[in-house]
Amino acid sequence: MPTLDDLSTAQRHLIHTSALRLQDKFAGIFGPETIERYMNDSLDQLLPDSEVVSFVPIFVERFAKDRLLALAKVEGRMISDKPSVMFLCVHNAGRSQMASGWLKHLAGDRVDVFSGGSEPASTVNPAAIEAMAEVGIDIRTEFPKPWTDEIIRAADVVITMGCGDACPVYPGKRYEDWVLDDPEGLGLDGVRPIRDEIRGRVEKLVEEMKLTPL
């Protein structure tokens, strides 16, 4: 299990630089102290489960940015008419990652897409990556991460996939539970039907949300 001591001086510098970028992005919305707190908390949540420590600075910046965008929406600091969807499963390594990939592919930037897990894995399922690549969707740069309070609160639609009672429930949101086979431990042939079933469900979601497919 990696710790802060495993980060090199260069990686620590990258994390500091990331915080500065986020301070610029959220200037006038959040102060440096809030940015720093979310960067540190995101690092604490991602580092212990990271398989490749060299990628941690990139993942921490992306995770913190998503969380800050969600917080800004929840607190009314940023006004957006763009709907947001959260996909939740246990490990955030297979089903929720494929669903996120499909929704981004079909709806583009007309919807904010988040994903998370109740027990995040260390990496995205290689068979899920390969299955999505077959249909022209690249999820190689995605990473498992936990669900967080501010992202759930910011989501308009929450799709759960097998995380049971561990999935959070907040009033005033649209919830759906998609019963899907878990691709963990399956080869490409076993993941393809799950990938295709997820596509059908996401296409229906896009239609119901009145997001014309790209």
pLDDT tens-digit series, residues 121-143: 999 999 999 999 999 999 999 99
The pLDDT tens digits of the residues spanning 35-90 come to 999 999 999 999 888 877 889 999 999 999 999 999 999 999 998 889 999 999 99
In the residue annotation, 207 being an active-site residue is answered as no
Confidence of residue 210 (pLDDT cuts 50, 70, 90): confident
Six token digits for residue 84: 């947001």
Which strand (E) or helix (H) includes residue 156?
Answer: none
Q: How much is the pLDDT for 213?
A: 61
In the residue annotation, 167 being an active-site residue is answered as yes
Q: How much is the pLDDT for 176?
A: 92
Per annotation, catalytic residue among 167, 180, 198, 205 = 167
In the residue annotation, 89 being an active-site residue is answered as yes
Per annotation, catalytic residue among 43, 64, 157, 163 = 163
User: Is the pLDDT score of 165 beyond 80?
Assistant: no
From 149, 170, 140, select the one nearest 66 (Cα to Cα).
149
In the sheet where 84-89 sits, what is the strand order?
Answer: 112-117, 84-89, 157-161, 174-177
Beta bridge partners of 84: 112
Confidence of residue 32 (pLDDT cuts 50, 70, 90): very high
Give dist(CA 115, CA 95) in Å, integer.
Answer: 10
Mean pLDDT across the chain, nearest whole number? 92
Q: Supply the Cα-derived Rg of the chain in whole angstroms.
A: 17
